Chain A
Amino acid sequence: MENEVVIKTENLTKAFGDFIAANAITFDVYKGEIFGFLGANGAGKTTAMRMLCGLSTPTSGKANIAGFDIWTQTEEIKKHIGYMSQKFSLYEDLTVRENIRFFGGIYGLKGKEIRQKGDAIIKKLGLENEAKKLVKSLPLGWKQKLAFSIAIFHEPKIVFLDEPTGGVDPVTRRQFWDLIYEASERGITVFVTTHYMDEAEYCNRISMMVDGVIKALDSPKKLKENYGVETMDEVFYELARGAQRKAD
């Protein structure tokens, strides 16, 4: 892991009226790092992630994403990141190839480049027979692997993954993580949220958000040591149990 910082936030805060969804978030993420962003429902993960992707303006604080300022350069940020969520990532009524062509086009890639890289993705994921099929006919796990490949199609500096493996079968889930490792080895920073605690173990570092605040940030090993427990599950339970903001 190199020491180049690709995400730097300082007291990043987002308030909706009286409600402080994300409170003074401060952390650094390094190039090529797999950074797990954990927290209970309603802890403020989505809010924080939206700010980092340049989709929502913070109330106060500073952040620099892939070398661009979150306040003034959101358009530049969007060009240098990839994003994929559990809910929306691909067009269900387009074929595999059409999706690749579309997203390649959005990121300004040339026709030839799209074709070559698209072929490579299809081959790698073993989708040769499915290339002309509508995405909606694919099993969820395949869709998610394809969506991830497309999200890093334009070689972004950072890729944000919002619960990418929810509901995916255990075999495909591991294949998905193989893809994440590969991307990380290529120097792409992976910023990921998950509800699977075994996946938290695969991250280089983990941040735990509780009630809008980052309560803990360290490697899984250190976290377990600090809390004197055996599994990440227990770490999560220890931290999230004290959450006040249950109904929100």
Chain B
Amino acid sequence: MTDVVLDHITKTYEKGSVVAVDDVSFSVEKGELFGLIGPDGAGKSSIFRMLTTLLKPDSGFATVNGSDTVKDYRDIRKKVGYMPGRFSLYQDLTVEENLTFFATVFNTTIHENYDLIKDIYVQLEPFKDRRAGKLSGGMKQKLALCCALIHRPTVLFLDEPTTGVDAVSRKEFWEMLKRLKTHGITILVSTPYMDEATLCERIALIQGGKILSIDTPEEIIRRFPKPLYSVRCNEMSRLLKELRSFAEIESCNGFGDYHHITFHNEAEIEKLKDRLIKAGYSEVEIRIEEPTVEDCFIRLMKSLDNGE
């Protein structure tokens, strides 16, 4: 069963001069954990706002849970949970007051759906009399998630829930999402962090309002067209520039402590190590590497730029 459908959705701002979402189509199955992966300004928030009935598309149509996002917006508003990107709750209300307020607005009580938020709320409970403004980023995010879940939505939209949050809190947040999945809630989450892509069941890579690719993370990685190698040596920043100047190297990107490279011609790999040692590098290490989603994104983004 399909829970979310986008059919050729386009959205522009400022009288059409800024294209935020460019002819986007995809669908999300019921109970799926779907990730919208892309940088700032890629169109993620616009897509979420159209699906949550906050914006109308210029063209195309979308349905959530079978309801049209424009015509049946009231039905959708009853059924979905939404956590906007810059959502910061009511800073001057306490944790408990925030949650009670949102529960009441959604016509429910904390008690009624407690089983759903229990895992998350127990971590917040020691601070329930603390004002939301005095919580850390990670805690705020948990509270916001509780508020979005309090009415047991069928579809949950989380717009960049982990932006600006440290690696540990991010990890915890994704574990919470996985647990939520067991309740059968369809979850759409957007993130600029490519490393979070593999935590989703299916992802759409998005850039400049266009979908670059859409599939399971494994399939997207499998479709990476060439063998990828990682190179390491004693002088990484010089190596980066030098590799880019080599004719046989098709692409070269820094990835943490390695540089990821692909070749125009596979046979050249044999000669590379000698060439680098001759150029004065030491501790040269070259190995075949499994591409990451970020490798795929960079490759797709560049081919999109070159295609235009």
Chain A residues with a Cβ under 8 A of chain B: 39-43, 86, 137, 139-141, 163, 166-172, 174, 177-178, 181, 185, 195-198, 200-202, 220-221, 231-233, 236-237, 240-241, 243, 245-248
Who on chain B is nearest to A235 by CB?
A: B167
Who on chain B is nearest to A86 by CB?
A: B164
Tell me which residues across on chain B come within 8 A of A167, comparing CB atoms: 39-40, 160, 163, 192
**CB atoms of B253 and A140 under 8 A apart:** no
Within 8 Å of chain A (Cβ to Cβ): is B109?
Answer: no
Task: In the A-B complex, list the 3 residue pairs whose CB atoms are closest, starting with the nearest.
Answer: A169-B39, A167-B40, A201-B256
Which of B136, B207, B240 contacts A41, CB < 8 Å?
A: B136
**CB atoms of A169 and B167 under 8 A apart:** no
**CB atoms of A195 and B166 under 8 A apart:** yes
Tell me which residues across on chain B come within 8 A of A246, comparing CB atoms: 136, 138-139
- Bound CA–CA A139/B41 (angstroms): 7
Within 8 Å of chain A (Cβ to Cβ): is B182?
Answer: no
**CB atoms of B192 and A41 under 8 A apart:** no
**CB atoms of A240 and B297 under 8 A apart:** no
Who on chain B is nearest to A236 by CB?
A: B167
- Bound CA–CA A214/B255 (angstroms): 26
Tell me which residues across on chain B come within 8 A of A196, comparing CB atoms: 193
29 A-B contacts, Cβ less than 8 Å apart? Answer: A40-B166, A41-B164, A86-B164, A137-B18, A139-B40, A141-B40, A168-B39, A168-B192, A169-B39, A170-B39, A170-B194, A170-B297, A170-B301, A171-B302, A195-B165, A195-B166, A198-B256, A202-B236, A233-B167, A233-B195, A236-B166, A237-B171, A240-B168, A243-B168, A246-B136, A247-B126, A247-B127, A247-B139, A248-B134
Within 8 Å of chain A (Cβ to Cβ): is B22?
Answer: no
Q: A202-B236, A240-B166, A247-B135 are in contact. List 11 more A-B contacts (CB 8 A).
A: A140-B40, A163-B164, A166-B164, A167-B40, A170-B253, A170-B294, A171-B298, A171-B302, A172-B39, A181-B240, A232-B256
A140-B40, A237-B167 as given contacts; A198 in contact with B136, CB under 8 Å: no
Number of residues of chain B lying within 8 A (CB) of chain A: 42
- Bound CA–CA A178/B160 (angstroms): 27
- Bound CA–CA A246/B126 (angstroms): 12
Tell me which residues across on chain B come within 8 A of A171, comparing CB atoms: 298, 301-302
Tell me which residues across on chain B come within 8 A of A39, comparing CB atoms: 166
Task: Tell me the residues in window 124-153 of chain B with beta carbons closer than 8 Å to chain A beta carbons.
Answer: 126-127, 130, 134-139
Within 8 Å of chain A (Cβ to Cβ): is B237?
Answer: yes
Task: Tell me how far the C-beta of A77 lies from the nearest C-beta in chain B, rounded to whole angstroms.
Answer: 27
Tell me which residues across on chain A come within 8 A of B167, comparing CB atoms: 40, 195, 197, 233, 236-237, 240
Which of A168, A172, A177, A236 contacts B254, CB < 8 Å?
A: A177
**CB atoms of B39 and A237 under 8 A apart:** no
Tell me which residues across on chain B come within 8 A of A197, comparing CB atoms: 167, 195, 256
Who on chain A is nearest to B255 by CB?
A: A198
Chain B residues with a Cβ under 8 A of chain A: 18, 38-42, 126-127, 130, 134-139, 160, 163-169, 171, 192-195, 207, 236-237, 240, 253-257, 294, 297-298, 301-302
**CB atoms of A42 and B168 under 8 A apart:** no
Tell me which residues across on chain A come within 8 A of B134, comparing CB atoms: 247-248
A39-B166, A195-B164 as given contacts; A170 in contact with B256, CB under 8 Å: no
A140-B40, A167-B40, A169-B207 as given contacts; A220 in contact with B163, CB under 8 Å: no
- Bound CA–CA A155/B32 (angstroms): 51
Task: Tell me how far the C-beta of B151 lies from the nearest C-beta in chain A, rounded to whole angstroms.
Answer: 25
**CB atoms of A174 and B254 under 8 A apart:** yes
Tell me which residues across on chain A come within 8 A of B127, comparing CB atoms: 247
Tell me which residues across on chain A come within 8 A of B42, comparing CB atoms: 169
Tell me which residues across on chain A come within 8 A of B254, comparing CB atoms: 174, 177, 198, 202
Task: Tell me how far the C-beta of A17 lies from the nearest C-beta in chain B, rounded to whole angstroms.
Answer: 13
Which of A41, A163, A177 contacts B138, CB < 8 Å?
A: A41
Tell me which residues across on chain B come within 8 A of A168, comparing CB atoms: 39-40, 192
Tell me which residues across on chain A come within 8 A of B236, comparing CB atoms: 202
Who on chain B is nearest to A239 by CB?
A: B168
**CB atoms of B257 and A221 under 8 A apart:** yes
- Bound CA–CA A201/B253 (angstroms): 13
Task: Give the residue among A41, A42, A163, A201 with the most B Cβ atoms within 10 A.
Answer: A41
Tell me which residues across on chain B come within 8 A of A248, comparing CB atoms: 134, 136
Tell me which residues across on chain A come within 8 A of B38, comparing CB atoms: 169
Who on chain B is nearest to A137 by CB?
A: B18
Tell me which residues across on chain B come within 8 A of A43, comparing CB atoms: 166
